Structures are given as structure tokens and as C-alpha cells.
Amino acid sequence: MSDWQNALDNALQAAATHEFGVIPLSLRKLPALASPHKVDPPGTPKCRGECGRFGHGVHDATSDPDRIRAMFEAARHATGYGIACGRPPHYLIGLDLDRDAEKQVDGVWELRKLCARKGIAVPRTVIIRTPRGGYHAWWTGPSDVKVPNRAGQIAPGVDVRHSGGYLVGPGSRGERGLYTLASDPDAVTVHPIPEQLLTLMTATKEQPRRIVGARAAAPASGGRALVALVKFVLDAAEGQRNNRLYWAACKAFEHAAAGRLDANQAEDALTRAAFDIGLPDKEAEATLRSARDEVLGAA
Ligand SMILES: [Zn+2]
């Protein structure tokens, strides 16, 4: 079967079984149909499909089988299909979990860490495997919440797709290979997004952390020292984790007191390092607090 036929069949199936709106995609995962408005004079109001032609990207997405077939007929080079996010009836939200050994990014692990830290239970939902070994997790969302399409906001390597975005559907071929269904096709439906994850996605900015000590607002110029201290913690063997964390924290706060390092930044980095070596949150927090009190005095 040709990639085109395979993509069309899968697109039709996604539309029929889930009422997803779909568009044909090129090998580069971009909308396969070019805009019919390229020759419009400047200042022409932006058309999002009102003209009735094809080529408006994700705005063309439809679950009407005749229209899907017509779009694919107009795009014989299509090898995949995109599923529009953030639209009725499901208000699909996609979490794109990137895995790239070269860039040292692992979105799957980062999301797992985040959920463990925040106590978020992650229910089973539809999972797509990408050709590069990453995953897409699909969720349904509420109709009245706008979720920004953002890369790396909730965790490194974790991108959010919602309104105005699309997800490459299973059965699509990209330049690097096939997108396939990783979850059991019979057992799993698209699950509503956990409330706490949604809250993280819609948060405008990370809350600023409390200021540590009176002399803490020093400029962040101690980068190299901090990297070394983080490494010292990461290299800790099981029995010495807490001691190393305490020692590294004292050193970091001494640098902060001397104005060579930002205390908040140091505390963040050491908290992450403590988590990475498996120190319980409460223990790490207590250790950092006593080191801070020791060096900077109680806040
Ligand atoms: Zn138009």
C-alpha cells in the first residue's frame, strides 16, 4: 500500500471513530496543501477557509469523509495526516514527549519526574510512538480553557499542542519513519487530562521562588562553580547523598553571600540534583534549609 493510501485510510478512520478533524500532511509533517492566497494583494483580510478552497493549514481540518478524500486527492504527495487540537467535540490536547540522546532530552522521563514530584496520577490514554523514539500522549480537554501551544514549559522536552496546533496521526510517514499507535487500540480511549497537568499548562509563568536571605539577590555569575557543585551532588554514592548535598549547599550559599552566585538559582539547581539522585523531597528541603540558615542566617 502506498504511503498516501495508508495515510488517507488512517485519516478516515480517525475521523470516523473519534470525530477528529484531519488534514493531509507532507513528508515534512507540514500541511500538504499550499495556500490559495499567496497571490492576494497585501492587506487582504486573512482567510481561514471561508473561500471554500483548500490550503488553510489546520483550519481546513474536517471529519467529513468526502472532504477528507477531496483534500487527499488534491495532495497526492501527502504521506501523513494531522489531527487538529483544541476543537469540539474532544478539545484534544497533545503532549509531545521528545527523546533525543544527542540533546540529552528525555521528555518521557521529565514528565514522569514532574508527576512524581507533584503527586499527579497519570491515567492510561492513547499514546503514539514517533519515529525518533519519542511519544505523543493524547488527552481530551475542557471546552472553556485555552491552552497555549508551548515548548518545554511544563518540563524540558515536553511540548503542548492545543488550539491552532495539530498532532501527526498514527499511520503517517515522516522523513524519519512511521508514527504508530503504542497503546492497545482496543483497551484505551482518549482520557480527560488530569486537572493538575492542565493547571501547569495554563500557568502564565513559574512563580518566583522566595528570596533566600538578605544578601541573596546577587547576580548570577557563579555558573561554573554551581555546575561543579551540582556534579559533586550527582556523583554521590548512596550513603553520602545527604552529606554531599549539605556540603555543596553550604559552598553555594557562601558564593551567594559573596555576591558570586544567585542563591535562588543555586537552590533550584541543587534541589533538582537531589531529586535526580533519589533523595526524598522533604529530606533535601530540610538539608538545604539548614545549610542556608547556617551560611546566610535564618530568613
Ligand atoms: Zn481561503
The candidate with the shortest Cα–Cα distance to 182, out of 125, 143, 220, 224, is 125
For residue 46, report the distance from its CA to the centre of ligand 1, in Å: 8
Query: Ranked by mean pLDDT, which of 64-78, 118-132, 190-204, 279-293 comes out on top?
Result: 64-78
Q: What is the pLDDT of residues 84-100, one digit of tens each?
A: 999 999 999 999 999 88
Residue 151 parent element (H or E): strand 150-155
What is the distance in A from the centroid of ligand 1 to the CA of 238?
62
Is it the case that residue 174 has pLDDT exceeding 70? yes
- Per the rule left: phi > 0, alpha: psi between -120 and 50, beta: everything else, 119 is left
Neighbours of 113 (CB within 10 A): 16
Distance (Å, whole) CA 214 – CA 59: 53
Ligand 1 center–CA 151 separation, angstroms: 29
By the CB criterion, residues less than 5 angstroms from ion ligand 1 are: 47, 51
- The pTM for the full model equals 0.67
**Band of the pLDDT at 204, cuts 50, 70, 90?**
low
Query: What mean pLDDT is predicted for residues 67-93?
Result: 96
Q: Which range has highest mean pLDDT (3-17, 28-42, 107-121, 253-267)?
A: 3-17
DSSP element (H, E) containing 82: strand 80-84
Q: How many whole angstroms from 53 Cα to the centroid of ligand 1?
A: 6
> Rounded to the nearest whole angstrom, what is the distance from the C-alpha of residue 44 to the centroid of ligand 1?
11
| pLDDT of amino acid 92 | 94
Q: Which three cell numbers stand for residue 9?
A: 485510510
Using a pLDDT cut of 90, give the percent of the chain over it.
39
